[in-house]
Structure 1
Amino acid sequence: MPIPAASDTMSAKSDATSTYLRRMGPHHFAHLRAVADGLSIHASAQRYLGIEHGNAALAAHRAVVELLRSMARRAGDARWRLVGLVIRGADGDGRPALADWAAANGLEGWSEAELQELYRQAFPHERRTARNQRLRQRQIEALRALEQLACEAPRPTDAIAVWFDPQLAQRLHANGLLLLQDLQRAVERGGRWWRSIPAIGLTKARRIESHLRQLLPAPGSALAAPMAASLALAAGVERRPRFDLVPQPPPGPNRAAVTGAAISATSDAQAIEQWVAARAGSQTTARAYQREAHRLHLWAAIERHKSFSALTAEDCLAYMTFLEHVPERWISRRRAAPMQPGWAPFAGQLTLASRRQAVVIVASLFAWLVKGGYLVHNPWDLVNRRTGDDVATHALDSRAFEPAVWAAMLAWIESQPTSPSRERVLFLLRFTEATGLRASELVSARLSDLRPVGGRWAMQVQGKGARKRIAAVPTQALRALHAYLLVRGLPPLERAPEDAPLVASVTDAAAPIGYQALYETVRSWLRRALRWAPLTEPQRRGAQKSSVHWLRHTCGTRALERGAPLEVVQAQLGHADPRTTMRYAKAQLQRLQDGMEKAFGE
């Protein structure tokens, strides 16, 4: 006779030590079997029941035992008496008092005769190892039989409140985590997923993750077998593709004849490698090319079962749609290494700018493959690749610091105790405001790149695509550099070592700083300055998304505001298209406002 499931409205007491049970899952039976095999109630409850505090272990154990006993009794199964029965060693030494043993096993309401009988079976007065072993074996068999009848495998679509403590479930619900699959996705994305949930820190988050793995174990794990069928049929959660086992689809009709081709590649993967080596002008560009090309390669093989030479214009449109809403199964855990379990090609949803860049890169890849004779035609040429403007971006937003905000931030940093880090960031802010160099250009520059020309200073810059340009070094930048060299213990620029880096490590004046270190140190100082500088709330909000690149925008905006010609600013910043520089200009907007005010002003 099947055992009926517990009511969805059933709950235990609402005190802090109570356990909320609505259904019996595989983890409950794993706990009972572990206790039957000799594991302590405390250790087993923490391992299988997700208990957060040790003093709640006994209450949690008793709640599980009482629920299963109740379900077994309603079904008329006599084996309910064996549920939760703790069988000690064969000897009678060290036996607990009858009342204590009854309380620990939830047997307070039983008759004296029944207690005595069970107590004798659990603690025989004579050495009866074989009998105890048989009793324990009967208990294990009973648990397995009851599990077949009463166990319900947790499903990703189950409400969190069904399997978690109600107080914890309420906190998770308040943060948009309603179902087990919602919590699972949050955990799989990695990072500090719990940071916005009250009363949950790192330790508690790790226990929640461990309990979730008990409920929804990963395929192939030791815990997955009891519920593999249920998980396979569960709706709403799509399995993560095996990105490390990508199929290799055969060539399609767009594959050009090998003879006469300028590209020696015989596969899409080789073609990507040769394209990156031939076209990428820097390591940064090479990483971007590889990332976008491999994403398309994986998508084509996994989602469309096609090689590059089989992709059509329809596939190209489908990929653009895919990039607009990247499925969760394609988003990686942050802690996962490439091609390891949990890894996926995307770190999150893409911005409009990232989608636009992705399409531009893969279209240029296919154009190169056509020119090299690897493909016959480029399907991206048949697709409207325009993505329009980002609705989330306001046209009046600026990524340049307002003069008042800039002055307040500099004043706050100057007020801090003198340190190598403070002197370096002051140099970076003042030098970059006056020159507009990119972060990559700053870390690669040497003092030998700066030379006097016509009574002033200029410097050679290794810009995007490894292209060189000459940038002016105005007086503000020169003064900041002289002060920075003095702090580093170096002579003035005219006598300084030519091979010394423009921006140095705080521990070694002769060692350059890396890009990531530069990014992190500037961002850290900017965040602290924005937090503590005397700014209004609107000013603080307007600059809260600032980054190192804002320094470059600040240079272009400030130069145009102070009357520098557009072509001068374009040359200084190394913009290939003057329209890029025009984004920093407010003069056009001011003329528009002046003209309309003249027509319709009072």
Structure 2
Amino acid sequence: MQEDPTQETSEALPAVVEPVALAAPASKRGRGRPRKNDAAPLTLEKIKLPRGRQAGYRVPTFADLDELTVEDFSFVRGVVNGMSPHDAYARFYGNIHFDSQGAPLVPHGATLKTTFDQLEQRILATAQASEDKRLQLAAAVISQTIPDEGAEADKRDINEIYEAWFDSLPSADYYGEAELPARFQEYLQDNGIEIRAALSSEVSRAVIIDRKVKAINELQTILAYRPRPDADTSIWLAGTLASTLAQMQITTLRQLVKFIGATGRNWHRKVPRLGPIRAARLQAWLSEHADTVGRIQNTGPAWAPYVPLKSALVPLKRASGSVVDLVPEPGGALALPASHRPGWDIAPLELLQVPARLDGQEGLFRVRGPNLYEAKTDLDAITVWLRSFQVADKTRTFEAYRREAERFLIWCYSIAHVAVSSVSIGHAQAYQAFLKQIPAELIGADRVTRDDPRWKPWRGQLSAKSQTYALTVIKLMYQALMRHAYLTGNPFSSLKSEAVMDRTMDTSRSLNTGDVEWLNKLMERRKQSAKNGASEQNAIEGAEAPCPTLMQARTRRLDLLLELLLRTGMRLEEVATSDASSIATAEVDGHPAPGHFVMEVVGKGKKVRTIYLPAKVKELIDLHHHDVERLIEKAEGPHSPRLLAFRSERPLISSLTGFATNTSMAPANTGNRAFALGKHGIYKTLKHFLRTAAKRDLTTLKREHAKVKTALTSATKQGDVKEVARLQVEVRRLAEDAKVALRRMTFSTHWMRHTFAKEVIRRNPGSDGLNQAKHALGHASIATTGAYLRQDASSLVKAMAKVNPLGT
């Protein structure tokens, strides 16, 4: 625990170096004035000092501490990472050491070097004196000597290669620190990148710098003396300023932060002899430490900037049609802007207020008698029809149908000026034509809430398929109104829809043999990296780690996701909402089949189906759950309520958020369940892994392509025909490989489902395979499953290739 800096210590450590005072300005030599060595000695009476404070003078704002602060660690880290000492000092001490104009006050270069050496030695000595093994390991890293810097060209080349490789890793902890050099060397060898001895030295230099920076970060987390909300201002601020604040009843940093937030942007005017420059630096320093002292609430009228008023003579203009009228509420006590009231021109369904002449009570095609909706107006009948989907928990259908219904109503009321129950075939044809070219005033590009005045019914022009869908929904609405004795006819039943290309399902988005091999290699490398990371952890702790590393747990979860999606064909939402409670041993011919499992899944429309679960997938589920349990035990102990809750819930895929530290964890934001990884989390996890790997391949291919193009240019100039032909073939091959990499960047969870479906049909030809695929995928219609047969043209190509009537 850090000692209070106000207490005396038995061994005084070197303090942070004070800024060097600026020298007094030299007197300007007048024309014809003798030089200094020829001038007569000046007496004190002859020297005229300028009135006021001498240049460079500043009233101190911060106290001098003997403790290691965040600024000290940041300065050392910046220099180690390649910043010049001058730039690092100005960047990290700029809010503490500054001149009368607010500019950073940086000491002389030699003093800066001494400052850096002293701070590095203090950090090293403090870490070595600690009994914490982690601090001692970090101290050993800091004590390493960084090799001399190579030539600028070599440094730039190797840094670009290393940064590109490191940025392509899925996460910063993908490899352990100890294995970074070896993995980078493997990367260079795999990609045929040859480096000279100077570049090899630069690799070692870059790795050592990276290790030292991480070690400094770890030491800063534990050793840095940070400002706290309850700390006295006298500890951190200069004596004169602390005394002034104390007279204002501000004695802690928390009180200072609250005072600044409550007073506003000109808070310094309330503090005598502070001034705007020192106040700005003090406020910036508090903002840098907002995580510990609290954030300044810089919102509200007191923080509003006052812009000078601009005036100009302009001619009067006629009021536009967008003038907002104030409409009195019933009773006359309140008047609201008309734009905030329900309207009948452009408004969502729930805010529509239809004028009596268009409400449909006197509609031309109304049934003159009672109706099953018990509706008096068109809007009442449509609302009851939509509510039937909401009551049936068909949320997506309700939202889609409501969108099309309110669009049609807006057209009826604001464009056609006709009641829904008076729409004829001519009106229906006019609406069909309207959908082909929607007016710009009805289209909104911004995503806003439904009660926002900027809300618009359309987001853009509709495709032919979307137009057909809109007309189909309105046709279904009129059918329902007829069926429930509200209308006498359906004007949309006679419309002829434009033929559109059938794109019901793109089942070509599936993995081929090459993709599967690529995926297997990726997982092997990922597993090996996780294994190496565990070995490193065991070596540090001196025994087998009692808990898996976070990378190991994530790797096993990723492996489970891929196996689950590719071998069961489950939908993304099904994976996110399923749990392990329904897993049971499968029965074959009425007898249990050990090693084979089944699981119940709730699919679309709340339909429950049973899917086959391979033994490997069941094993991966158990391993994943075991990882989560051990991580919870490590963080909260074996009797943690969260552990009991997890064992009770047992989601199929669990979130690993919050396990990076040993602190107690709040439930992750994963949806309605406390531990399950939501569908968005599952999608992002898999998408990031696949996209990053494909992007890494694409970067390598681009680099190779550039080399081949250079060689091709050289061979062309030399007239080497054979080499030109060979290189042209290589260019085409790299271009094809780049297309493959771009395609793999689009892989997603649904590609896995399509791959599973095609594999089921391929291994089980005929109607049996089609029925099995239909059941496994949860399709309501066999026609949907049949799309996989139509898309897979492999058998057609093989059969037609044998047909040759000419015999040539």
Mapping 1:281-360, distance limit 5 Å: 281-360=393-472
Contact 2:568–2:776, Cα closer than 8 Å, also in 1: yes
Matches within 5 A, 1:231-310: 242-243=346-347, 246=352, 248=354, 249-251=358-360, 252-259=363-370, 261-279=371-389, 280-310=392-422
Matched, 1:404 2:509: no
The answer for the alignment partner of 1:500 in structure 2 is: 650
- The letter of the residue matching 1:287 is E
Rounded to whole Å, the distance in 2 between the matches of 1:403 and 1:397 is 16
**Residue in 2 that maps onto 1:129:** none
**One-letter identity of the residue aligned with 2:564:** F
The residue aligned with 2:626 is: 486
Deviation at 1:532, TM superposition (A): 2.3
Measured in 2, the distance between the counterparts of 1:544 and 1:369 equals 47
**Cα separation, 2, equivalents of 1:275 and 1:467:** 23
Report the CA distance shift for 1:503/1:355 in structure 2 as closer, same or farther (over 3 A). Answer: farther
Cα offsets for 1:477-532 (capped at 9, x unmatched): 334423332332289xxxx9463222333335952333444444444444323322
Contact 2:695–2:745, Cα closer than 8 Å, also in 1: no
Give the Cα separation in 2 of the matches to 1:450 and 1:588. 33
In structure 2, what is the equivalent of residue 576 of structure 1?
780
Report the 3-state secondary structure (helix = DSSP H, G, I; strand = E; otherwise coil) of the residue aligned with 1:381: helix
> Number of residue pairs matched?
370
Does residue 1:438 correspond to 2:642, yes or no? no
C-alpha distance in 1, partners of 2:764/2:495? 42
> Whole-Å Cα distance in 2 between the matches of residues 268 and 275 of structure 1?
11
SS of residue in 1 equivalent to 2:598: strand
> Does the residue aligned with 2:789 lie in a helix, a strand or coil?
coil
- In structure 1, C-alpha distance between the alignment counterparts of 2:689 and 2:623, rounded to whole Å: 19
2:759 matched residue in structure 1: 558
> Is 2:661 the partner of 1:511?
no
Gaps (5+ residues) in structure 2?
Answer: 1-309, 325-344, 531-550, 588-592, 632-645, 658-666, 669-673, 702-736
Alpha-carbon RMSD: 3.9
After TM superposition, give the deviation of residue 561 of structure 1 in Å. Answer: 2.9
Which of 797, 800, 805 is matched with 1:593 structurally?
Answer: 797
Which amino acid in the other structure matches residue 774 of structure 2?
A: Q
Aligned to 1:64: none
Q: Distance in 1 between matches of 2:782 and 2:774?
A: 6
Q: Conserved in 2, the CA contact under 8 Å of 1:446 and 1:501?
A: yes
Letter aligned with residue 569 of structure 1? A
Correspondence for 1:182: none
| Structure 1 equivalent of residue 28 of structure 2 | none
Check whether the contact 1:435–1:477 (CA below 8 A) recurs between aligned residues: no
Once residues 346 and 785 of structure 2 are traced to their aligned partners in structure 1, the CA distance between those partners, rounded to angstroms, is: 44
Q: In the TM superposition, what is the alpha-carbon distance from 1:262 to its structure 2 partner? A: 1.7
Counterpart CA distance in 1 for 2:598 and 2:436 is: 44
Change (3 A) 1:523 1:590: closer
**Which residue does 1:466 correspond to in 2?**
606
Contact 2:367 2:487 in 1 (8 A): yes
Give the superposition deviation at 1:568: 0.5
TM value normalised by structure 2:
0.41
Amino acid at match of 1:328: A
Does the aligned pair in 1 maintain the 2:359–2:379 contact within 8 Å?
no
Separation in 2 of the partners of 1:380 and 1:327? 22
* Residues 554, 656 of structure 2: 8 Å contact kept: yes
Q: Which residue pairs with 1:448 in the alignment?
A: 581
Cα distance, 1:514–1:345 mapped onto 2, change above 3 Å: farther
C-alpha distance 375-533 of structure 1, shift in aligned 2 (>3 A): farther
Letter in 2 for 1:253: L
| Superposition deviation, residue 389 in structure 1 | 0.9
Query: Residues 335 and 413 (structure 1 numbering): CA distance in 2 closer, same or farther, change over 3 Å?
Result: farther
Deviation of the 1:356 alpha carbon:
4.3
Letter in 1 for 2:375: A
Q: Map Cα deviations across residues 189-216 of structure 1 (whole Å, 9 max, x no partner).
A: xxxxxxxxxxxxxxxxxxxxxxxxxxxx
- Deviation for aligned residue 1:337: 1.7
> Are 1:246 and 1:302, in contact at CA under 8 Å, matched by a contact in 2?
no
Q: Counterpart of 1:450 in structure 2: which amino acid?
A: I
Separation of aligned partners in 1, 2:428 and 2:743: 38
Contact 1:447–1:500 at 8 Å: present in 2 too? yes
Percent identity over the alignment is 24
TM-superposed CA distance for 1:420, in Å, is: 5.3
Partner Cα separation in structure 2 for residue 325 and residue 427 of structure 1:
48
CA, structure 1 residues 255+560, in 2 after alignment: closer, same or farther (shift >3 Å)?
same
Deviations 1:355-400 (CA, angstroms, capped at 9, x unpaired): 444343333232222222222222232223464216xx69987122
**AA of the residue aligned to 1:514:** G
Distance 1:574 1:568 in 2: 10
